[in-house]
Structure 1
Amino acid sequence: MAESKSLRVAYGETLVELGAENDKIVVLDADLAHATMTNGFAGQYPERFFNFGIAEANMMCAAAGFAHSGLIPFCSTFALFGAGRAYEQIRNSISYVNANVKLALSHSGLCVGEDGGSHQSIEDIALMRVLPGMTIFVPCDPIETQKAVRAAVEINGPVYIRVARPVCDCVTEEDTPFIPGKANIMRDGSDVAILATGLMIPEALKAADLLADEGIKAAVVNFHTIKPLDADCVLKMAEQCGAVVTAEEHSIIGGVGSAVAEVLAGNSNAKFARVGVNDKFGKSGKPADLFKAYGLTAENIAANCKKLIK
């Protein structure tokens, strides 16, 4: 079993590796390098690291300039500040012109914990998903984070990588495929399909175990790529199981639940439910307590599955 670590640590370590392999990679941060873990890259390659201070919009515009100069900029800050505060710059200076900028934004979702609702971005996927040409990765563990960062370098255009804060166990393997736009079936089943992403993958697997104890065969599918979404896999699982439940650490509006609903609409008669943040802001608390309070648990996923297939 690979080492448990925070996804932001895995991101920082991968940046250092890539810095040695590709001298076109530059890293930009907004005075949070110690938290986003870009400080490792800054220490190794100070001439390719740029701290813009608390000026996220300026950082995004500068990243576009780096990209137009043939470099590959990685921008990092908290997801709320990057996706939210600098949204217009991402839209017009990066996405609109298909600039080759990578947005690796950390401290996403409820797992920021005690920082509270003002810092918990539960709408960042929705904001990025609506932008034409934006690729979105939501890795579930350290191994997948490393693969997402490396995959982003190979994509010519803007990429958003949603990086979580907590220490996570590895639920994928080094040889698990990571193909952008191609979901991974982690467990097969015939009664209900749990389509999950990010930190909800371990909860989805636990939910499948709970359901198995009751004789219910649940499939678990890892949608590490939210855009482009693997529509073929969505429809395949819907046909195979007849019931689909999505699970995400994000608002049920605009995230993977919405993306799957858009695929199913008019194309499938499968029963459907969404597990996520139900049109509310976050609040301060320990991540585990928040996950329980907002229903982001294996038990709630299992309950939604059973409700659909009754």
Structure 2
Amino acid sequence: MTKALRDAWADTLIELAADNPDLLVLDGDLGTSTRAERFARAHPDRFLQMGIAEQGMVGTAVGLASMGFVPWLSSFVVFFTHRAVDQVRMSVAQTHANVKIGAAYAGLQTGFTGKTHLDVQDLAIMRAMPGMTVLAPGDATECAAMVRWATATPGPVFLRLGREGGPDLFDASYRFEPGRVIRLRDGADVLLVGTGQQTARCLEAATLLAADGLGAGVVHVPSIKPVDAGAIAAAARDVRLVVTAEEHSVLGGLGSLVAEIVTAHVPRRVERIGIEDTWGESAPGTWLLDRHGLTPERIAERVRRALDAEG
């Protein structure tokens, strides 16, 4: 079981800041939850507490970036993609500012923060912004690699950080490459496509399907934008059915991305599993995953029904 992505994010920044005097962290008064407070304790001279003022925090970061600093922003994802989205769009994305967004509490496992704090539209909003790199790590190892890459690479980056830990997908030899699509398992019947920590559940679903004699391949898409469209199309050619699963709306996120690619290149049916056209709810993460069909068991059920319907 890997540590939480928010922990990996903070620990990696603490490590990098020891050798990079230009690295800063700006926090929106949520450091305990996002783990930014760890950075504040380790590097108090490199930490800026901006208060509950996300719009001002983004603007300040753009100014700091223009002076040569590398600012990482820390808050809940919903405040970047909704409250401060104008500043992210106009000041960060359009100017290609070297600002990094650590978007915590992404997905469904956000605790009892309330439906106002649960954002299931973030990938759709961010991937539509020209020049914005959009990343969703599958485990702590991948998260740390993404933080290192983003800190060293000029330009805006949106990093999606879940609240909880999960299974390990990668070992210490892992190296992040933007755009790369990672095939984790082969199978001739169905291709399960996941992003972020949902990929681990896709792997578990593939094991359940194998017990029924169904070959399920699994592809991990950690880089929502950019993405290797050719790799997704090639993987889709090998199977009868493509199924995407994400802790996000089925509108505009991973499912839409894969459907856009597959329909343009391969005559395959695409089933999208995620949050339908509805708002988020305040409930335990495990309950929400089951409600929206994202547990391994529910994914396997969806695949069986879809394949049975094809005959």
Q: Is the 8 A contact 1:78 1:108 kept in 2?
A: yes
Q: Deviations over 1:128-172 (max 9, x none)?
A: 111000001101111111111111113211000000101223222
Question: After superposition, where does 1:157-306 map in structure 2 within 5 Å?
Answer: 157-306=155-304
Aligned residue in 1 for 2:96: 98
Q: Give the TM-score normalised by structure 2.
A: 0.96
| SS, match of residue 164 in structure 1 | coil
Q: Is the 8 A contact 2:104 2:163 kept in 1?
A: yes
Q: Is the 8 A contact 2:145 2:175 kept in 1?
A: no
Q: C-alpha distance in 2, partners of 1:92/1:107? A: 24
| SS, match of residue 247 in structure 1 | strand
Consecutive unaligned residues of structure 2, counting only runs of 5 or more, are none
Worse-matched range after superposition: 149-158 or 202-211: 149-158
Q: Shift of the alpha carbon at 1:260?
A: 0.8
Q: Shift of the alpha carbon at 1:217?
A: 0.8
- Structure 1 residue 151 corresponds to structure 2 residue 149: yes
Q: C-alpha distance in 1, partners of 2:108/2:150? A: 25
| SS, match of residue 261 in structure 2 | helix
What amino acid is the match of 2:268? A
| SS, match of residue 118 in structure 1 | helix
Q: Deviations over 1:25-61 (max 9, x none)?
A: 1110101111111112111221111111000000001
Q: C-alpha distance in 1, partners of 2:35/2:251? A: 30
Question: After superposition, where does 1:58-69 map in structure 2 within 5 Å?
Answer: 58-69=56-67
Q: C-alpha distance in 2, partners of 1:167/1:108? A: 12
Aligned residue in 2 for 1:78: 76
Aligned residue in 2 for 1:110: 108
| SS, match of residue 133 in structure 1 | coil
Q: Is the 8 A contact 1:272 1:308 kept in 2?
A: no
Q: Shift of the alpha carbon at 1:299?
A: 1.7
Within the candidate set 2, 5, 28, 2:3 is matched to: 5
Q: Shift of the alpha carbon at 1:115?
A: 1.5
Worse-matched range after superposition: 32-41 or 208-217: 32-41
Q: Shift of the alpha carbon at 1:293?
A: 1.3
Aligned residue in 2 for 1:55: 53
| SS, match of residue 143 in structure 1 | helix
Worse-matched range after superposition: 211-220 or 257-266: 257-266
Q: C-alpha distance in 1, partners of 2:172/2:268? A: 33
Q: C-alpha distance in 1, partners of 2:120/2:241? A: 25
Q: C-alpha distance in 1, partners of 2:109/2:62? A: 30
Aligned residue in 2 for 1:141: 139
| SS, match of residue 149 in structure 1 | helix
Q: C-alpha distance in 1, partners of 2:300/2:271? A: 11
Worse-matched range after superposition: 173-182 or 52-61: 173-182
Tell me how many residue pairs correspond in the alignment.
308
Q: C-alpha distance in 2, partners of 1:105/1:33? A: 12
What amino acid is the match of 1:117? K
Q: Shift of the alpha carbon at 1:84?
A: 1.3
What amino acid is the match of 1:175? S
Q: Is the 8 A contact 1:177 1:184 kept in 2?
A: no
Q: Shift of the alpha carbon at 1:178?
A: 2.1
What amino acid is the match of 2:72? F
Q: Is the 8 A contact 1:136 1:160 kept in 2?
A: yes
Q: Among the aligned pairs, what percent are the same residue?
A: 39
Q: C-alpha distance in 2, partners of 1:171/1:116? A: 30
